[in-house]
Amino acid sequence: MNSAKFSKQLFAIPYAVLAVVFVIIPLVMMLFNAFMSGDGSFTFDNFLNFGNVDVWKVLGRSFIMAFLTTVICLLLAYPTAFILANSKLNKSATIVMLFILPMWINSLLRIYAVKLIFEDLMGKGFGLVLFGMVYDFFPFMLMPLYTILANMDHSYIEAAEDLGASPLKNFLTVILPLSVPGIISGILMVFMPTVSTFAVSDILGNPDTYMFGNLINYNMEKGYYNLGSAYSMVMLALIGITTLIANRITSKKGGSK
């Protein structure tokens, strides 16, 4: 027993080293830079810069884009996942062929393809950026929904049918509540990455559609590491708060079954 436990701990060492080198140390450096000024003195000015109206405009634009992307992905992915989960087709092959294989292509290549195909039709701007966001993040909404629907306990559905529930009522009172964890997972996997991304809006948009990720990237490229680090810490805090809220909602749903 001790040797088995020792082996598991031994195998965990490479992952721990990678986590320290590529996650913890960069976060500590970013936190340190966020409270430093250009001359190396301690300051809160980098965070006080959030009082700038232009920063709030960019942040608000980012949340609007993320909200619309998430809603559209959910509206498209839920019925797709529901059909695939209840289809008699070879579900695994269908999922891989239609949705997983395109994800193996580099994201930037796919976004450049969208630009080449749709730029003349839609023009660079909000509409094209939104289209690119939905195209890029749709699989991240589909997979958790498909997983939860495919593995759902059908005894609840059959029980509701035996009690005389109509298909619509069965969906609203049984299937939809049971799929809430998948919905929340999909929202998390789409919403926050959309807020923080910069490549899609950089390629498909213009200065009027730049998002919070573009603002962070701009400061880092220009050498304003302290300001960029402060913005990154704020984004990290938003992601953490959103994740905690989502986990609490999911745990409440799980406890209410």
Residue 101 CB partners (closer than 8 Å, separation 6+) = none
| Concatenated DSSP letters of 63-96 | HHHHHHHHHHHHHHHHHHHHHHHT-SS-HHHHHI
- Residue 103: which pLDDT band, with cuts at 50, 70 and 90? confident
Q: What is the pTM of this model?
A: 0.84
Residue 94 CB partners (closer than 8 Å, separation 6+) = 84, 87
Hey, is 233 helix, strand or coil?
A: helix
Q: What is the pLDDT of residue 156?
A: 79
Distance CA 175, CA 173 (A): 6
Distances (CA, A) of 4 to 7, 13, 16, 107: 5, 15, 19, 41
Q: What type of residue sits at position 134?
A: V
Q: Reply yes or no on whether the pLDDT at 254 is more than 60.
A: no
Q: What is the pLDDT of residue 125?
A: 87
Which one is predicted more confidently, 23 or 95? Answer: 23
For residue 85, give both structure tokens.
């989960």
Q: Reply yes or no on whether the pLDDT at 129 is more than 90.
A: yes
Q: What is the pLDDT of residue 68?
A: 96
Distance CA 175, CA 159 (A): 12
Distance CA 142, CA 79 (A): 9
Phi/psi zone of residue 105: left (φ > 0), alpha (ψ -120 to 50 degrees), beta? Answer: beta
Question: How does pLDDT run across 61-84, given as a tens digit for each residue?
Answer: 999 999 999 999 999 999 988 888
Least confident of 2-16, 58-72, 118-132: 2-16
Question: How does pLDDT run across 150-199, given as a tens digit for each residue?
Answer: 888 778 777 877 777 787 888 888 888 889 889 998 998 899 889 888 88
Identify the residue whose tokens are 């730049």.
210
Q: What is the pLDDT of residue 150?
A: 84
Of the ranges 71-75, 214-218, 250-254, which is most confident? Answer: 71-75
Q: Reply yes or no on whether the pLDDT at 46 is more than 80.
A: yes
Question: What's the chain's average pLDDT?
Answer: 84
Q: Reply yes or no on whether the pLDDT at 18 is more than 70.
A: yes
Q: Reply yes or no on whether the pLDDT at 133 is more than 90.
A: yes
Q: What is the pLDDT of residue 170?
A: 84
Q: What is the pLDDT of residue 192?
A: 85
Q: Reply yes or no on whether the pLDDT at 255 is more than 70.
A: no
